[in-house]
Amino acid sequence: MKEVIHTPVKALEEEEYHINMGPQHPSTHGVLRLVVSLQGEIVKSLKPHCGYIHRGIEKMCEKDTYPQIIHLTDRMDYLSAHINNHGVCLLVEDALQIEVPERVKYIRTIIDELTRIQSHQLWWACFGMDLGGLTCFFYGLRDREKILDIFEESCGSRLLHSYYTPGGLMWDIHPNFQKSVKDFIKYFRKKIKDYDRLLSGNIIFMERTKNVGHLSKEDAISYGITGPSGRASGFSCDIRKHHPYGVYDKADFREILFTEGDTYHRYIARMDEMHESMKIIEQLIDNIPAGDFSAKMKAVIKLPAGEYYQRVETARGEMGIYCISDGNKTPYRIKFRSPNFSNLGVLDHLSRGFKIADLVAIGASLDFVIPDIDR
Amino acid sequence: MASFIYDFSLLTKPIHEALYHWLPPVWALIAEMTLIGLIFLLFYAVVGLFLVYAERKVCAFMQNRVGPNRVGPYGIFQTIADFIKLLMKELIMIKNSDKLLFNIAPFIVIIASFMAIAAIPFAKGLHAIDFDIGILYVIAVSSLGVVGVLLAGWSSNNKYSLIGAMRSGAQIVSYELSVGLSLITIVILAGTMQFSAIVEGQANGWFIFKGHIPAFIAFVLFLISSTAETNRGPFDLAEAESELTAGYHTEYSGIKFAFFFLAEYMNMFIVASIAATVFLGGWMPFHVSSWTGFNNIMDYIPPFVWYFGKTAFVIFLMMWFKWTFPRLRIDQLLTLEWKYLLPINLVNILVMAFIVLMGWHF
């Protein structure tokens, strides 16, 4: 029989107490439970307990065919649903060495960037709300609706799209797509100024976020913090730049890098990313080439036996898919490297010694999506 | 006939005299107290309901929403429906909570705000008690509410509540100073602590105009510190919903929660009334000296309209703060008070005293 390992329970220090933030708590944005050990208001240590929304997606993937897996990846990071789908599609296409039409690459890139913008909009909305500015929440959601309308028009769905298929797209974009995207960019360029006026330039906001939760570049690398949170610490980790997929190599954009690595710069990094995403979309939207919306695919997709790895840049960081195939139509084993899981690990390191209100701000700046942590 | 809307003593004096004529003095006093108590109870309920509705509408319009619009025209009966719901809800008793303190905490909070309202002059002659130390009384009474908040947090047997209560304690003890000192600035200018005399003193110009810059600074300081004292955003740390779920009233339900809720709005009303009375002339109309025609037109507007208009203006300012700014952190909150507001206030008092001594005010 396996021996049970007892970890010694550390006695609490004097005047130290625990509180459970979550699984039902307004600022954890889902069913995440943080056991916070406090001394007065100061966080001494913190222990995340995840698994409240674990659905066994990786196990389910072993029973599903590759096109079916796409539908499961929607349900991991539901705010980057398109980008997750893109990862699976690229994995299958690279394994089978299928050349997807240029049109598909353009459309996928544009939709990925729209996904990134809407994800950051929701993050901005929640960030404001977590700091106590409830008005931000409504402003963010109001503008996110516009992107969801565009998605609904072309993909038929607003949250869990499953629009990409191995080899192409489910169907072609709506004839209105280009016009509505351009309208949105015009609209949002105006509205993002409001975001800055309402929150970024606010003195209370700056006091709350500057020099709070500092993450050094070394720590960012060793904890595996990717995405805007890692780049705010100076860790150049943008998959779109380093291993371009889609048509990112044809677009001119800047990788947002800061060296400060505090909550404020994680915020600014995401705000700047929205500008960069709009720049990418503007460059691509008029140049979508004509052609098929999907490559010719076999009815049953079987990957040759072997190991495959594909990574994409979601709104929260690097999402990796590691797949072992034994030549069947279902994978032998699949493992998702989700950005949120790695980002959650650094929360304890960042919030030690700060106040409980800072913990909320730091958590919001790391932008967790709980179903992506648990999978 | 309707002249009493310009001077309510025409209405209240005959009632007073008639009561004392018909009844022995003790009974007449009891009858008067009961009458005033009932009127205030009604007033309290109406103002509370109206303010909840107003806040929901104001915040809705600031957030691109329409707000309540289902119950009654423009949703005006929404708050009544909400309060009926709260009345019918179960009062959940928490295991291992201190039953006595848990039960009396909401009453302490609401009684404190009830007592403060007694000293406020609503219109000419519409004044429950005209203390000669009115301002001192209001400052003293309005800070009693924190006892209820502390008890609520302590007795709930919930760590979130306790943190909220402790924050609230630290906050109110600190900001009480600024509230008091900014009012004292005006007391120096007015030369009295009696509310009726303060209002009379503003007959030819509100104190915010009369007292030059120090009076304006005092007004701003009062606005900031009284917002903090009423636990409203951006100083709503005691109930910071993103950190402490609901702070000190996490465990309260039904009518006891409604008491906390109502007390918050009434406290807002009270500090807005004080701001309107002390800085903006209370029920005094807006007068510009030597513009007789203009002044006569202003006098046609009844005093209570002036009073409620000014109070509504200050309340709107406070709502505007709340729905615009993010929340401060507890240490920043205390830093703001002890390092900035308090020194500014002390210097401001000196400047005001100097101006009054030199006779430079209008």
3-state secondary structure of A312: strand
Instruction: Return the CA Rg of chain B.
Output: 21
Residue B13 reports pLDDT greater than 50: yes
pLDDT of residue B1: 45
What residue has token string 């996904």? A115
Residue A10 has a CB neighbour count (10 Å cut-off) of: 8
Residue B107 reports pLDDT greater than 60: yes
Residue B340 touches partner A, C-beta closer than 8 Å:
no
Spell out the residues 6+ positions from residue B246 whose beta carbon is closer than 8 angstroms to its own: B160, B164, B239
Contact criterion met (CB below 8 Å) for B272 and B117: no
3-state secondary structure of B97: coil
Contact criterion met (CB below 8 Å) for B121 and B4: no
Contact criterion met (CB below 8 Å) for B5 and B304: yes
Residue A205 touches partner B, C-beta closer than 8 Å:
yes
Q: Quick check: ipTM above 0.90?
A: no
- For residue A139, list chain B residues with Cβ-Cβ distance below 8 A: 63-64
The Cα A9–Cα A131 span in angstroms is: 34
Q: Which of B63, B236, B327 lies nearest to residue A138, judging by beta carbons?
A: B63
Residue B213 has a CB neighbour count (10 Å cut-off) of: 11
| A102 to A90, A112, A180, A280, B75: CA distances (angstroms) | 14, 15, 21, 16, 54
Residue A131 touches partner B, C-beta closer than 8 Å:
yes
pLDDT of residue A2: 56
- CA dihedral for A254, A260, A263, A268, sign (positive or negative): negative
3-state secondary structure of B98: coil
What pLDDT, in 10s, does the model give residues A127-165?
888 888 888 888 889 889 989 999 888 888 888 888 888
- A137/chain B closest Cα distance in angstroms: 9
Nearest to B39 by CA among B127, B108, B123: B127
Q: Which of A19, A137, A202 lies nearest to residue B325, judging by beta carbons?
A: A202
Laid out side by side, the sheet with A306-314 consists of A306-314, A317-325, A333-337
Nearest to A139 by CA among A215, A194, A85: A194
pLDDT of residue A9: 55
Please give the span between the terminal C-alpha atoms of chain B, in angstroms, as a whole number: 36
Which residue of chain B comes nearest to A197, CA vs CA? Answer: B324
- Check CB contact under 8 Å for B236 and A132: yes
pLDDT of residue A117: 92
Residue A1 reports pLDDT greater than 60: no
Q: Mean pLDDT throughout B241-257?
A: 80
- Check CB contact under 8 Å for A133 and B243: no
The domains of chain B are located at 95-358
- Check CB contact under 8 Å for A139 and B65: no
The domains of chain A are located at 16-374
Interface test with B, best of A267, A356, A362 (most B CBs within 10 A): A356
Which residue of chain B comes nearest to A364, CA vs CA? Answer: B242
Contact criterion met (CB below 8 Å) for B161 and B46: no
- CA dihedral for A189, A129, A214, A374, sign (positive or negative): negative
Residue B203 reports pLDDT greater than 80: no
CATH of A16-374, one of 2.40.30.20, 3.40.50.300, 3.40.50.2300, 1.10.645.10: 1.10.645.10
Run of H or E residues at A90: helix A81-96
What pLDDT, in 10s, does the model give residues B110-151?
888 888 888 888 877 777 778 888 888 888 888 888 888 888
What pLDDT, in 10s, does the model give residues A53-109?
888 888 888 888 888 888 888 888 888 888 999 999 999 988 888 888 888 889 889
Query: What is the four-CA torsion angle of A245, A247, A251, A257, rounded to 10 degrees?
Result: -20
Residue B324 touches partner A, C-beta closer than 8 Å:
yes
A18 strand-pairing partners: A37
Residue A144 has a CB neighbour count (10 Å cut-off) of: 20
Quote the pTM value. 0.86
What pLDDT, in 10s, does the model give residues B61-72?
888 888 888 888
Which residue of chain B comes nearest to A201, CA vs CA? Answer: B325
The Cα A269–Cα A231 span in angstroms is: 7
Q: Mean pLDDT throughout B242-248?
A: 77
Residue A34 touches partner B, C-beta closer than 8 Å:
no
Residue B168, by phi and psi: left (phi above 0), alpha (psi -120 to 50) or beta? alpha
